[in-house]
Amino acid sequence: MKQDKVFFEDYRPVEGESFMNDRQLEFFRRKLVNWKNDLMSDSKETIEGLQDNTRNIPDIADRASEETDRALELRTRDRQRKLVSKIDAALRRINEGEYGYCEMTGEPISLKRLDARPIATMTLEAQESHERREKVHRDD
């Protein structure tokens, strides 16, 4: 088992391999699980910090500053929660054999893109097209 661990720590998916072979799937699964664990740990620390900081501050300026900090922490926590949800969805796609393929075109998402953004659900071209369409509809 230790040999497998060393293998996966040194392994990097490369173009030219069979797309989403077992090694690539395991690489991305581990990357996603590690990312999720880091986020959950950060989230736990944030919650503990918020609980520790509940105190009555008499100075109005200090209280405003404290409330601003808390609001920022809560927004960060919400973003992390949404990110964990996207990570869970990516892990489901791995389990269902759909990971790495664009949800719009069905084409493989580049390994470089998946390495940089393992929760990506679209190729770069499809994502750009999607964002352009959203911008047009938003501007209406």
pLDDT in tens, 25-75: 999 999 999 999 999 988 766 666 665 555 677 777 777 777 787 788 888
pLDDT single digits (tens) 106-137: 999 999 999 999 999 999 999 999 999 988 87
pTM: 0.76
Let me know: does 13 contact 115? Beta carbons within 8 Å.
Answer: yes
Q: How far apart are CA 92 and CA 71, in angstroms?
A: 32
Q: Which residues contact 121 (CB under 8 A, 6 or more apart)?
A: 93, 102, 103, 109
Taking the CB of residue 53, how many other CB atoms lie within 10 A of it? Answer: 12
Q: How far apart are CA 121 and CA 89, in angstroms?
A: 10
Task: Please give the structure tokens belonging to residue 16.
Answer: 């030219």
- pLDDT for position 140: 57
Q: How much of the chain exceeds pLDDT 90, in percent?
A: 56
- What domains appear along the chain, each with residue ranges and CATH number? 1-8+19-99 (1.20.120.910), 102-140 (no CATH)
